Chains A and B, each alone.
Chain A
Amino acid sequence: QVHLQESGPGLVKPSETLSLTCTVSGGSISGYFWSWIRQPPGQGLEWIGYSHYSGSTNYNPSLRSRVTISVDTSKNQFSLKLISVTAADTAVYYCAREVPTPYYMDIWGKGTTVTVSS
């Protein structure tokens, strides 16, 4: 079965760039949307954005100026970059597979905690 695993630094300094990778195992990256969702401590889920396997992307308007999501089909991975981070970006970051029309996230990674602090 398909499995997703997030990886990346658990601590990022303010004003620097948060970079995470999600590795897809047990299945192909083709045919799906690949999404990032985050959850600040004690708060709800926030959709960050997606990259379609073809390379098209869409982002949360509140994060659009700072975020980039990309897919590497050769490595079966997709990644998240968030620039100019602040303490408000501290959260558990989840990667997820989204099924195109009717657009639901059927497989999620376990999540990785990223803390923004000097």
Chain B
Amino acid sequence: QSALTQPASVSGSPGQSITISCTGTSSDVGGYNYVSWYQQHPGEAPKLMIFEVSNRPSGVSNRFSGSKSGNTASLTISGLQAEDEADYYCTSYTSSSTRLFGGGTKLTVL
């Protein structure tokens, strides 16, 4: 199974909005609403930010939102803050009942 496709990097200025895409196939992203997103700061463990495409866990800022269209899921961060600078990974359930991660996107806050 190949990794889900994410842009290697995105950037934005404080206060702006950015969107990170996560493209798979009908056997994973497109076939199920089981896409989640994780934030990882350097040297730390990943942190769950979005689950089931668009749901936020308790404690995660409402500046983070998720959506999906066809085989592509997206994570949008609005009102960018310096603390949002991190790596972001999507993951999806697959038709083989395995899990597939995206390659990761480095977010730089300018």
Contacts and interface: CB of A to CB of B under 8 A. Distances in A.
A and B: partners? Answer: yes
B77 to A, nearest CB: 18
Interface string A77-102: 00000000000000000100011011
B104 A102 contact: no
Contacts of A50: 99
Interface in A35-75: 35, 37, 44-47, 49-50, 58-62
B100 A104 contact: no
Chain A residues touching B, majority SS:
strand
Interface residues of A, number: 26
Interface residues of B, number: 28
A106 B60 CA distance: 12
B104 A94 contact: no
B97 A105 contact: no
Nearest to A98: B99
B101 A104 contact: no
Interface of B: 1, 3, 33-34, 36, 38, 40, 44-48, 51-52, 57, 87, 89, 91, 93, 96-104
Interface of A: 35, 37, 44-47, 49-50, 58-62, 94, 98-99, 101-106, 108-111
